[in-house]
């Protein structure tokens, strides 16, 4: 069965214990916890005792952690260009282990020089992170995004193949694919077994004039039934 989780960035103005309790009361299966300097978890400050408290809140609410998501930080390529990516993402992997989360997500970003330069930097940066993650049973999930290097199913599939690590997987943001013209069923089939997590949003219009909506909101054009059918 495919579980339903909630990205806690949507409630970042509320304290994490409230968010966890609220999502549990609504019947969610899991939560995707945002981590960063202005997020629910501040990875540089979170102690073992802090993470133990989060585990208790999760247990009380009957929630699991679907993924750890970097938030209010630069995407991976720009962060790597500044020399900060390895330490930051190793810490997120440690947080994922502490909270029994199977995934750490990342946005690829892009560099001002060229997409090729950014792609080469991702190929340099990802292997040591993937090796560290693998020793802890964690996968790194590519969050495809418009205006980033990795914005189509083909590009996500290509970098997964180039890296050659089984724990580099797809966070299939299907709405982000759709607004760029990649149709739903083809996107799911193209990424196939690499999909470990999904984001889905309502939307009106396509890139660059899209307006994101709450799923099912008036005017929503995203084909949710087709997406559910493609996932099986």
Checking if the pLDDT of 224 tops 80, the result is yes
Checking if the pLDDT of 33 tops 70, the result is yes
Checking if the pLDDT of 1 tops 90, the result is no
Q: How far is CA 205 from CA 2, 83, 145, 219, in A?
A: 27, 37, 16, 9
- Mean pLDDT for the stretch of residues 208-218: 97
pTM greater than 0.95 (yes/no): yes
Return all residues near 193 (Cβ < 8 A) that are at least 6 apart.
none
Characterize the bridge pairing of strands 202-204 and 30-35: unpaired
Peptide bond connecting 208 to the previous residue in cis, omega within 30 degrees of 0: yes
Rg (CA), the chain: 17
pLDDT score, position 180: 99
In the chain, the domains with their CATH numbers are: 5-202 (3.20.20.150)
pLDDT digits (tens, 9 = 90+) for 96-150: 999 999 999 999 999 999 999 999 999 999 999 999 999 999 999 999 999 999 9
The average confidence (pLDDT) of the chain is 98
């Amino acid at each position: 069965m495919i579980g339903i989780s909630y990205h806690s960035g949507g409630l970042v103005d509320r304290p994490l214990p409230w968010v966890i309790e609220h999502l549990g009361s609504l019947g969610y299966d899991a939560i995707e916890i945002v981590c960063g300097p202005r997020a629910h978890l501040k990875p540089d400050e979170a102690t073992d005792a802090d993470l133990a408290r989060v585990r208790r809140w999760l247990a009380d609410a009957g929630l699991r952690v679907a993924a750890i998501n970097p938030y209010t930080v630069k995407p991976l390529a720009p962060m790597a260009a500044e020399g900060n990516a390895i330490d930051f993402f190793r810490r997120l992997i440690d947080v994922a282990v502490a909270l029994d989360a199977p995934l750490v997500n990342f946005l690829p970003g892009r560099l001002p020089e060229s997409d090729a330069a950014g792609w080469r930097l991702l190929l340099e940066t990802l292997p040591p992170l993937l090796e560290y993650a693998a020793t802890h049973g964690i996968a790194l999930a590519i969050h495809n995004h418009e205006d980033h290097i990795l914005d189509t199913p083909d590009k996500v599939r290509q970098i997964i193949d180039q890296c050659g690590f089984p724990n580099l997987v797809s966070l299939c943001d299907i709405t982000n694919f759709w607004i760029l013209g990649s149709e739903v069923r083809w996107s799911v089939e193209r990424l196939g077994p690499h999909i470990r997590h999904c984001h889905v949003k309502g939307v009106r219009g396509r890139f660059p004039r899209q307006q994101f909506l709450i799923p099912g909101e008036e005017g929503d054009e995203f084909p949710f039934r087709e997406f559910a059918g493609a996932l099986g």
